[in-house]
Structure 1
Amino acid sequence: MEDRVVAEIDVFQADQLAQDLMVLQYPLKERAREMENFENPRRARIKPNNLVVELDFPIDTSSILYNKDRGEELSLGFNDKKIQTIYDMNEDLPGQSGITHMETRTMASNLLPTNTKYMVGVLRNNELHMTPVSKVAQMFPSLKYLDVISAKVKAANQRVTDDDDDDDSATSAPKPKPKARAVQVSVRTPAAEELAHLRKTSVSYLRQQIDEEKWEKLHYLESTSAESQEMYTQLFARSRQTLISSTTPSDFLDDLAKEMDTEVAPTGEAKSNRA
């Protein structure tokens, strides 16, 4: 018994937003714990050359699950306050104002390789309009605020060391000035050029390029806004020209059967189950 055809839907391919659509996935997000007031990001930014996106989501600081003491400690990663040492406890350090508790969590994008093709589809009037997705990224919590806190701790320790050195230098003889040294200039060899090329393709170099690119602010729009509704209309195809298939239904089914019938052997070689 053959399956009964329930409906026939015409499929159209739209291209107006084909180069602008980017899907953001949240692998660690628990939908069961979402709250309506904290779903939308408070701030958004992008590094367009490297396609890095960051979204700042608000934290419910009034929740009984929020640790206020820990939130106050982590606020050092979000403000310009300096860590006071024993030498400046009674001094008013510059920049001692700003955020007092951790109020936002930042999600940073990780671009995925394009091993497959994604499309965004909208259904209207029994028509399915599909637009290709240019990029797909997964969003993970950013811990850069811990780097900020670590830098502040190092700066505080350095101030303590400098104060100790000043006390020691007050009672010791002045140190002789360092002697001038000759600088050797060398010409790059082909091997050095190759090494420089490898450095430019290394992970550390690529990370440096990302860090050096400046952020551009984005304006986040809710789905109910007029701007979002205008973009939504661009997901529908402008042309209704019928596409001519380059394969027959029989050829398509044969190709599909070949893919399903072939599996990868443990040795990495392809084998077929057909006798």
Structure 2
Amino acid sequence: MADADAATGAPGRSAAEYGLPDDEIVAEVPVFLTQKLERQLHLLQYPQRVGVLRPGELLPRAARIKPVHGQIELDIPLDVHSPMYNKARGVELGEGIADDGRLLDTTTLVSVDIPKSSEYLAAVVRDGEVHLTAIDRVTQLRPSLKYLDRIAEKKAASRKADNSDDEAAEKKEVKAQTVQVTVRSAQAEEALRQQQNSIAYMQQRLEEEPWADLAYFDVGTDESAAVCAGLVAGSRDDLVCTMGPDEYLSAVIGSTEPDVL
């Protein structure tokens, strides 16, 4: 990876050899790329939280994931004994999670994918070496308000039950209808394909995928430490670049040619 001087942290080549201003180089740090946890790292953002999250601060009561789509839900307990908690309102909203007069004692955070504007890497510094692992997904955890939808559904069902007698009287007899079987044209098949690829269709597929329980281990646990060990490269093989400088920059940031008006 690096020469003996770099391995010991001693200055090696001058800045001029790198095409940099003539500043003193105080150390060269070996950088390793590891793929042990490739496509397994998710960066979770908490836009409603200010500052750094401390261990145990957001310990969820339950966690779930949809493996195919990668959506995550965390049930975070609420402090119902806090003087800031409105218990009367908590009982009203609790109807959206249970029918037994339970307080709304959890807030559910659901992940929303954020388009990546660049590549993100997780870095670990170990024994003077930097180990990098690519992050697969970037998501934000936002509050889910599904309990409000359930309350609205209950109210709608109650109104429907009250008006069921009137609705039954107004119903008309259903007449037999002839079912016509047709063969779709090429244009119809293309329209159907576009519909299936629409946002509505993808959302339906997401909602239909069942949840799977997800084990959550906070920072400082043995399980967390075991996974973090995978962020350190196990081999010391040199990377061989097959691209020239211009080709590499084009692959990373796009064309290096100046825009011509």
Contact kept, 8 Å, 1:121 with 1:131, in 2: the verdict is yes
Q: Structure 1 residues 247, 176: CA separation in 2 closer, same or farther (over 3 Å shift)?
A: closer
- Where does 1:164-183 land on structure 2 (aligned, <5 Å)? 164=166, 177-183=173-179
Contact kept, 8 Å, 2:109 with 2:143, in 1: the verdict is yes
Q: Which residue in the other structure is 1:143 paired with?
A: 145
**RMSD across aligned C-alpha pairs, in angstroms?**
2.9
Contact kept, 8 Å, 1:38 with 1:59, in 2: the verdict is no
The secondary structure found in structure 2 opposite 1:71 is helix
Give 2:43's match in structure 1, choosing from 15, 23, 29.
23
Alignment length (residue pairs): 236
Give 2:231's match in structure 1, choosing from 230, 235, 240.
235
Instruction: Tell me the amino acid that sits aligned with residue 138 of structure 1.
Output: Q
Please give the TM-score of this superposition, normalised by the length of structure 2: 0.80
The secondary structure found in structure 2 opposite 1:77 is coil
Indicate yes or no: 2:57 matched with 1:66: no
Q: Structure 1 residues 38, 61: CA separation in 2 closer, same or farther (over 3 Å shift)?
A: farther
Contact kept, 8 Å, 1:121 with 1:130, in 2: the verdict is yes
Identity of paired residues, percent? 36
Superposition deviation, residue 247 in structure 1: 6.5
Q: Structure 1 residues 195, 206: CA separation in 2 closer, same or farther (over 3 Å shift)?
A: same
Superposition deviation, residue 179 in structure 1: 3.1
Q: Which stretch has the larger CA shift, 207-216 or 188-197?
A: 188-197
Q: Which residue in the other structure is 1:116 paired with?
A: 118
Q: Structure 1 residues 247, 178: CA separation in 2 closer, same or farther (over 3 Å shift)?
A: closer
Superposition deviation, residue 6 in structure 1: 3.5
Q: Structure 1 residues 245, 187: CA separation in 2 closer, same or farther (over 3 Å shift)?
A: closer
CA distance in 2, matches of 1:255, 1:61: 54
Q: Structure 1 residues 38, 70: CA separation in 2 closer, same or farther (over 3 Å shift)?
A: farther
Contact kept, 8 Å, 2:122 with 2:132, in 1: the verdict is yes
CA distance in 2, matches of 1:230, 1:117: 25
Indicate yes or no: 2:67 matched with 1:48: yes
Contact kept, 8 Å, 2:55 with 2:219, in 1: the verdict is no
Q: Which stretch has the larger CA shift, 211-220 or 138-147?
A: 138-147
Q: Structure 1 residues 134, 165: CA separation in 2 closer, same or farther (over 3 Å shift)?
A: closer
- Where does 1:1-275 land on structure 2 (aligned, <5 Å)? 2-31=22-51, 38-79=57-98, 81=99, 97=100, 100-164=102-166, 177-246=173-242, 251=245, 270=259
Q: Which residue in the other structure is 1:88 paired with?
A: none
Unaligned 5+ runs, structure 1: 82-96, 264-268
Superposition deviation, residue 255 in structure 1: 5.8
CA distance in 1, matches of 2:120, 2:162: 55
